[in-house]
């Protein structure tokens, strides 16, 4: 399956990246190319909306770890929202839910 992304800029230095499809070894480079530049902006809040993501593999998890490190290095923040049970379980099993902020429900900002 393909991956699609859309960047939505909000006021107050918020940027939303809506992601749809599957994040795997084939589509992860596209996610990285769209996510990392957002995390490199000083003081920006990056919200990644994963509502329409059905699958993430370890390559995809690595992209989020790299984005978190980039955000921290640039004084930005990273939040994930809209995770389905399967995707959320993967973040929990790997312990990434302890280091990456995950909203339990979709936020109004991401809609």
Task: List the one residue out of 29, 21, 26 whose CA is nearest residue 3.
Answer: 21
Give the helix/strand (H/E) hosting 15. Answer: strand 14-23
Q: Which domains does the chain have, with CATH numbers?
A: 3-101 (3.30.750.24)
- What confidence tier does 1 reach under pLDDT thresholds 50, 70, 90? low
* Residue 105 burial (C-beta neighbours within 10 Å; 0-12, 13-18, 19+): exposed
Lowest mean pLDDT among 22-31, 86-95, 96-105: 96-105
Euclidean distance between CA atoms 33 and 51, whole angstroms: 20
The pLDDT, as a whole number, for residue 111 is: 43
Q: pLDDT tens digit string along 14-60?
A: 999 999 999 999 999 999 999 999 999 999 999 999 999 999 999 99
Taking residues 90-105, what's their average pLDDT? Answer: 92
């Amino acid at each position: 399956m393909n991956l699609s992304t859309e960047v939505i800029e909000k006021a107050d230095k918020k940027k939303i990246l809506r992601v749809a499809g599957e994040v795997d070894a084939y589509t992860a480079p596209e996610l990285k190319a769209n996510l990392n530049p957002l995390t490199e902006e000083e003081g920006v809040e990056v919200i990644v909306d994963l509502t329409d993501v059905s699958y993430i593999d370890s390559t995809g998890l690595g992209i989020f770890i790299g984005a978190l490190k980039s955000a921290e290095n640039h004084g930005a923040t990273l939040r994930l929202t809209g995770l389905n049970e399967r995707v959320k379980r993967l973040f929990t099993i790997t312990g990434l839910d302890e280091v990456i902020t995950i909203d339990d429900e979709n936020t109004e900002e991401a809609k």
